[in-house]
Structure 1
């Protein structure tokens, strides 16, 4: 009988230890998931030097826009209302866009989602950017091959007229310099 009691206590202690370790692993996995969500997918749509594809879309103001409307130096961003990192990056993007020479014409923001879901993003972006709302497979996203959110790029026309990505890691904390 004492042997059975000792074995039962040993099995109970092992089960309690296993439970504590399992809860620790679950907590670490949740922490890792939160860190990954903060980082976002991180891969920009197009790399520096790649050409932007042709597209036509309509802004929320009802103005048609296409690749040829991306002037000398344009800041381009893709946001999704369902993306946690997008909500965190939005205020910094708006503050950065507000300081750009050229105003709204120097910024194109695409919000990927339904107009209803994108309303808060559209309201925040409209004063500083030309805003397009489209589904995930929309023409602007396809032209930039954008599948990761948030994505912030800088584009400009090359000497031969092609519109190329000039920066795929835009520092939103840096105040842009006015063109000389």
Structure 2
């Protein structure tokens, strides 16, 4: 009988310890959920309706690229070679950009990182877009308020002639729409 009492006491103690640890894990998960909610609440780029800032840069091919040269709808993509989700999204972006109504002239892709590590991205993107390679905080990223990678957005001229964001999260799985 004393052995049975000891076993029951041990099982009771283990159950109590398990309950305390489980409550601690639940508390931590709630804290992490709040932290992630705060991060997800921050926009990762300019929001719809915001004007694209000034930029003056050049593509990897040496072509000048300034805001005033962009006339119609423009698809912008921002990638980083050190970002795993960027590597996954890159082929979908290239395929989507290939079907853009304005062709290569209406697509601008920015690779954030050093030229050596960006070379693979540049080779793929160069087929369908004007490609810019810049350091973090560069002209393109600043002009479009980019805070996370990958980011894909679309801008167009409004009635006043300003280049504004019309879609701040382009769904690459949807087909592009041809405008008449």
Counterpart of 2:116 in 1: which secondary structure? coil
Using structure 1 for the length normalisation, give the TM-score: 0.77
Using structure 2 for the length normalisation, give the TM-score: 0.77
Per-residue CA shift, 1:99-155, capped at 9, x if unaligned? 011211110000000011111111110000000000011011111111111111100
Whether the 8 Å contact between 1:42 and 1:151 is mirrored in structure 2 is no
Instruction: Name the CA distance, whole Å, in 2 between partners of 1:153 and 1:125.
Output: 16
User: Once the 2 structures are TM-superposed, how far is the Cα of residue 41 of structure 1 from its aligned partner?
Assistant: 9.7
Alignment of 1:153-172 (within 5 A): 153-172=153-172
Runs (4+) of structure 1 exceeding 2 A deviation are 40-44
User: Once the 2 structures are TM-superposed, how far is the Cα of residue 44 of structure 1 from its aligned partner?
Assistant: 3.2
Aligned pair count? 166
- What is aligned with 1:98? 98
Whether the 8 Å contact between 1:58 and 1:132 is mirrored in structure 2 is yes
- What is aligned with 1:76? 76
Question: Could you say if the C-alpha distance between residues 42 and 112 of structure 1 is closer, same or farther in structure 2, counting changes exceeding 3 Å?
Answer: farther
Per-residue CA shift, 1:51-90, capped at 9, x if unaligned? 0000011101111101112221100011111111111111
Unpaired runs of at least 5, structure 1: none
Unpaired runs of at least 5, structure 2: none
Alignment of 1:1-180 (within 5 A): 43-180=43-180
Whether the 8 Å contact between 1:97 and 1:107 is mirrored in structure 2 is yes
Per-residue CA shift, 1:5-31, capped at 9, x if unaligned? x79xx6xx96xx98xx89xx8xxx9xx
Whether the 8 Å contact between 1:41 and 1:148 is mirrored in structure 2 is no
